Amino acid sequence: MTSPATHEKSASGPGAWLRSFRAVAWAFLGIRKGSESQHDFSQIKPVTVVVVGISSALLLVLFLVGLVNWVIAAQ
């Protein structure tokens, strides 16, 4: 059994950002099991998920715009 302090500590720090990024990446793909995503979201803070989600969406859009510009310039 974990103490509340241990659970609270697992919700912050560099590991939380990695867990958030992994959860957001699986959500973008849409192939995550419901039980696994519930487990992830019970351990990470919603603010972290929102920040990682918006950042990931922005990076995806910038990547796609760059890819389209590269393909158009190559023709």
Q: What is the pLDDT of residues 27-71, one digit of tens each?
A: 888 877 778 777 877 888 889 889 999 999 999 999 999 999 999
Please give the residue that has the higher pLDDT: either 34 or 6: 34
Alpha helices in 1-75 (DSSP H): 4-10, 14-29, 34-43, 46-74
Name the nearest CA neighbour of 20 among 38, 44, 36, 39. 44
Its pTM surpasses 0.75? no
